[in-house]
Structure 1
Amino acid sequence: MPPAVRFGVNYTPSEGWFHHWLDFDLDSVRADLDSIAALGLDHVRVFPLWPYFQPNRTLIRPRAVEQLVALADAAAERGLDVNVDGLQGHLSSFDFLPAWTRTWHRRNLFTDPDVLDGQETLLRTLAAALADRPNFIGMTLGNEVNQFSAGPHPDPDRATPDEIDSWLGRMLAACEEGAPGRLHLHAEYDATWYQDDQPFTPGQAARHGAVTAVHSWVFNGTAQRYGRTSVPSEHHAAWLVELSKAWAGDPHRPVWLQEVGAPAPLVPPEHAAAFTEATVANALDCPDLWGITWWCSHDVARSLADFPELEYGLGLLTNDRKPKDTALVLERAARGPSSTPAGRGTALVVPADPAVRSRCAPGGPVFEAFFRLVADGARPTAVLDTRAGDPEHLAARGITETVTPDQVLEGGTRS
């Protein structure tokens, strides 16, 4: 039997947001973790802010590392495993990059030799500090670091796909050196799957690291175009899970739905529970799902300024640690019986060329075709056009028929 799907939450401290590292209060952290564990969840993803942990390229603050370990130990006491994002990076519309990479010290995050040395050292140090903790899942390189590599970022660190490939390999190797055998991975926002000029490619996402991570947000045009109760909105997370499988080398590579949430006002608070229930149920219908990690644990305090409005209310719990209706939905799923979804025999053919990946984005013909199939009652997956005629590949994935977007949208014959 495959392992049960993991259920967790991205830990947003109820006091001080991620700035809590500046005034670390272990009692407050413990109270937050108590409220998370009470929901029956089994892991948290935590975010040490890069400038606070490595304010100088050759200085990693020992006290900050000790606090991270203390948080992990407090989580273990409550039955929670911990995944750590190393390079923060970017969170909730704010960039957190150390001064030694910006302005007067402007250096490329993905290609500068000194920056790479510093990043490598930080990742190895954090991984090594947690390597002997049984509840340490592993490292994620950073949160959606691909947003630094291209537009719409206002000051991108440009790199080629080959340079990103090298960066990923080197950083993941540093994590493995620090904590051998753990689940080390990288994670990007959906420009990897949808943006033609994004140097982080789908192939990299699906082949580097121990699992593939997808981050699903319907404010990317899905909810705006199709509506909050539409098939595309309620199945968007499942789409990214299945789309990612097209590029994987392992036919049963695990996929981690590492970020997903119910963003207001596109999903109004009174409808957030229904959206959560549908999103979780549809994701659980995807074979080889490693886990679902909701964004996020606690609301952002209204006393903190300048966040986008949607960020303040994304928590499963309020600032005083009271569960919302969305928390109860996730709790039911986490405590419910586990089951193994059936395989998906119908595969939609998607382009292997990353230069046309926008065809898979909201409004694109591949996206439209996938959800036409879903609306018609099918349970499709995805296969690259370069593999659609490979019987061995199709058999390994349990695919019994393939269909092109044109055939779906024009009502043609499947093969």
Structure 2
Amino acid sequence: MFYEEGKFNVGVNFWASEEGIRMWRNWNEESVRKDIEALKNAGITLLRVFPDWSYFQPITEIKGWRGGNRGYSDNDGTTLLPDNNEWSGINEEAFSRFAKFLEIAEENGVSVIPSILTGWMSGRFFVPEAIKGDLITDSSAIKQEVRFIRAFVKRFKDSKAIVAWCLGNECNCLGIASKADDAWLWTAAVSNAIKSLDNRPVISGMHSLVTPGEGVWTIEDQAENTDILTTHPYGSPTYSSDIDPINTFRPLLHPAAQTLLYRGIGGKPCIIEETGTFGELYADEESTMDYIRCCLYNAWAYDCRGYFWWIAFDQGHLTYYPFYTNNRASNYGVLKADRTDKARLTEFKDFKKFLDKFGKNLPKRIVDGVCIIAKGQSSWKVAYNSFLLSRQAGLDIEYCFANEEFPESNLYIIPSLADAESIRADALAKIMDRVSKGAVLYISTGNGLIRNLGKDFGVKIHTRSRINGTKTVDFGDGDKFTVGAAAEYKLIPDGGDILAKDENGDPIYVSASYGKGKVFWLPAQIENWLFDKPGAYHKDNAPNYNRVYKEFAKYVPTEKCAKINSLKISMTEHILDENTRLLVLVNCSPEKQSAEISLNKGYKNLSIYHGKGKISENNIEIEANQPLILTVTK
């Protein structure tokens, strides 16, 4: 599961409707059976589930003189547990209840992904009382974690309901790793504990990963030690996707963009393992439905492999911590707590009907270029906005990390370079060699320094000074806006083209020919700066920041046969056969959108395969927050 290109899986995260997190302690087989049957009847047959670690391994530490450890017990010291195998301290009652859960799931044709080490959930720890040290770095803690995981996998690996194993729930919240090696070692230990016993895929289960040098929990380390990477994209301040309404361009492309970033940096499949809107305080039911619909089709188009909604059932009725203190909301479910449908369920049902109708794996979209994420910068900030600007310029991108092997591409984007060590000179030389053979290179810089920056880009650098402010980018034809800058350059034209000038009339966006290719340089950090600028992508009166990307997009060779002149419609192109292409359009706007699609390469005929819209020759209309899937033939 999740390895197959173009195959898409939809599921939900599961806690029981009546008891929530206490479902294993307050086990009600009849109620859980009704939950699973309700989800099955709703067309949801893939669940991510959570064994409460503190209940499944309820060990306590027995202390002696001066607090010294005398052993562990699961019955308050009546007896001490033998310290010689993974079954020590395992709660047989909990395991038998999980076995029954799997039995019910299998009877109903429901697949299960256990997030084994669930010690963190909804802002609360669920950790065995005996485990006192840091859960990521303390050797005694890791010993008990590995033992629990081994026992769990041994007991349940023969279940046909289980399709993959997840390390746990956001285990990078369990402790404080002071360095990346700590996080690597912990991940290797728990992942290998699973892999030593079963060959099903091991899923990371992490959120908010970073690139090397940016933090300790890195995308690359998770990819090295697990089989499937995960994102948990919500419309939240963490990702700055909450600064625009949930049914607009920026938040609607967030899940796909972040998943592409992890997949590109890690080189492993990546799924959207958790996502949602944070409830009624962020969006009403209508807007939530719009969000789900657009995100599902975008995730499918960008081959995100999996989409799991948080959560199966509303939890607003739960009265224990953390729910009774939660002021944000808890009614995130696709079903109400009484198992009746919510309107949003319609979106999952309709999408499943569409997938059944399509009946095959979606061919990979045509990709135009690679966005290179460099060291010393906030990777999500620059990756997110590079994706959005590329999308508005009609470009499809993938990601890779600087100083690694770069894939062959017609376009390289290096956004908002932060410092002199962001990218190595030998790595840049490889890219310049490809440019000389016909590729296009775009670089924007903050404090970043690269060799031959002036000479290769058709200008002389008269002076450079460090600033912390903004610069004007004026194209001289009405497109004029301000962006953040970390350095101010006085540039003198030297064979290159001046595309835009700053507030002083000096060049600020330049291009030049380089062999058979083209290079573009913006000495301002537009991608980083746009991260927290509300309305930059969806408001009609927003400046045309995308003009920066549209300038170099003109020169990028492409296999695509179609272009669209819309800033609010996401469009991907997929080759079905030598005479047929599929265009997946998603209106990422709460208003109806009209646009023109221009065709080339001998393709002439557009027709609607699926969706709410109209075609008149090459002009299309798409209803608000709706997909429109077109076939185009010669």
- Shorter-normalised TM range: 0.7 to 0.9
Using a 3 Å threshold, how does the CA distance of structure 1 residues 344 and 199 change in structure 2: closer, same or farther? farther
Matches within 5 A, 1:146-157: 146-149=172-175, 157=176
Deviation at 1:233?
Answer: 0.1
Kept in 2, the 8 Å contact 1:14–1:301? The answer is no
Match in the other structure for 1:298: 313
Q: Post-superposition shift, 1:31?
A: 0.5
The structure whose RCO (Cα within 8 Å, separation 6+) is larger is 1
Secondary structure of 2:385's partner? Answer: helix
> Does residue 278 of structure 1 match 2:294?
yes
- CA displacement at 1:195 relative to structure 2: 11
Aligned-partner SS, 1:74:
helix
Q: How does 1:320-399 map to 2 (within 5 A)?
A: 320-337=338-355, 338=358, 339-353=361-375, 356=377, 358-360=378-380, 364-387=381-404, 390=406, 393-394=407-408, 399=409
Which ranges of structure 1 fall in alignment gaps of 5 or more residues?
150-156
Farther-moved stretch of structure 1 (126-135 vs 71-80): 126-135
User: Any conservation in 1 of the 2:42–2:349 contact (CA below 8 Å)?
Assistant: yes
Figure out how many residues of one structure are paired with residues of the other and give that number. Answer: 386
Percent of residue pairs bearing the same amino acid type: 19
Candidates 27, 51, 54, aligned match of 1:51: 54
Note if 1:108 corresponds to 2:134: yes
1:162 aligns with 2:184: no
Find the counterpart in structure 2 of residue 121 from structure 1. 147
Q: Which amino acid aligns with 2:343?
A: D
Query: Would you say 1:23 and 2:162 are equivalent positions?
Result: no
Question: What CA deviation, in whole Å up to 9, does each residue of 1:265-314 have, x standing for no partner?
Answer: 22333311111101111111113x33211111001042424253444111
Match of 1:185 in 2: 203
Partner of 1:174: 193
Please, which of 198, 217, 222 is the counterpart of residue 240 of structure 2? 222
The offset of 1:21, in angstroms, is 1.0
1:284/1:334 Cα in 2 relative to 1: closer, same or farther (>3 Å)?
A: same
Which of 552, 555, 571 is 1:413 aligned to? 552
Q: CA deviation at 1:139?
A: 1.8
Given residue 413 of structure 1, which amino acid in structure 2 is its aligned partner?
A: F
Q: 1:312 aligns to what SS in structure 2?
A: coil
What is the Cα deviation at residue 365 of structure 1?
3.5
- In the alignment, the residues of structure 1 paired with residue 353 and residue 225 of structure 2 have an alpha-carbon distance, to the nearest angstrom, of 31
Which ranges of structure 2 fall in alignment gaps of 5 or more residues?
A: 60-71, 73-87, 416-443, 445-519, 527-547, 557-634
Q: Distance in 2 between matches of 1:184 and 1:272?
A: 31
Q: Which structure has the highest strand share of the two?
A: 2
Residue 15 (structure 2) pairs with residue 12 (structure 1): yes
Between the aligned partners of 1:159 and 1:126, the Cα distance in structure 2 is 29
1:299-314 → structure 2 map (5 Å cutoff):
299-304=314-319, 305-314=323-332
Structure 2 counterpart of 1:403, one-letter code: I
Give the superposition deviation at 1:203: 0.8
Change (3 A) 1:29 1:340: same
Distance in structure 1 (CA, Å) of the matches to 2:137 and 2:25: 30
C-alpha deviations, 1:86-142, integer Å up to 9, x for none? 1112212222222223xxxx3011121211111001111111111111121132111
Give 1:11 deviation, angstroms: 0.6
**Native 8 Å contact 2:261 2:398 kept in 1:** yes
Distance in 2 of aligned mates of 1:311 and 1:94:
16
- Amino acid aligned to 1:34: E
Pairwise CA distance, 1:27: 0.8
> 2:201 touches 2:227 (CA, 8 Å); kept in 1?
yes
Q: Say if 2:231 and 2:258, in contact at 8 Å, map to a contact too.
A: yes
Deviations 1:26-56 (A, max 9, x none): 1111100011111222311110111111111
Specify the SS of the correspondent of 2:399.
Answer: strand
Kept after mapping to 1: 8 A contact 2:369/2:412: yes
SS of match in other structure, 2:344: helix
More moved, 234-243 vs 90-99:
90-99
Q: What is the distance in 2 between the residues matched to 1:44 and 1:121?
A: 25
Give me the CA root mean square deviation: 2.3
Partner SS, residue 272 of structure 2? strand
Aligned mates of 2:43, 2:229 — CA distance in 1: 24
Q: Is the 8 A contact 1:92 1:307 kept in 2?
A: no
Query: What secondary structure does 1:100 align onto?
Result: coil
User: Which structure has the greater CA radius of gyration?
Assistant: 2
Look up the match of 1:262.
277
Give the letter aligned to residue 64 of structure 1. A
* 3-state DSSP of counterpart to 2:47: strand
Letter in 2 for 1:5: F
The AA in structure 1 aligned to 2:199 is G
Q: TM-score, normalised by structure 1?
A: 0.86
Task: Determine the structure 1 residue equivalent to 2:412.
Answer: 402
Structure 1 residues 278 and 194: alpha-carbon distance in aligned structure 2, compared to 1, 3 A threshold:
farther
Query: So what's the TM-score if we normalise by structure 2?
Result: 0.57
Q: Is 1:40 equivalent to 2:64 in the alignment?
A: no
> Which region of structure 1 is more displaced relative to structure 2, 62-71 or 157-166?
157-166
Residues 310-335 of structure 1 show CA distances to partners (whole Å, capped at 9, x for unaligned) of: 44111000001012122111122223
Which protein has the bigger helix share? 1
Q: Partner of 2:105 in structure 1? A: 75
Query: Matched residues in 2 for 1:3 and 1:351: separation?
Result: 25
The alignment partner of 1:316 has SS state of: coil
Other structure's SS at 1:141 match: strand
Conserved? CA contact 2:24–2:94, under 8 Å = yes
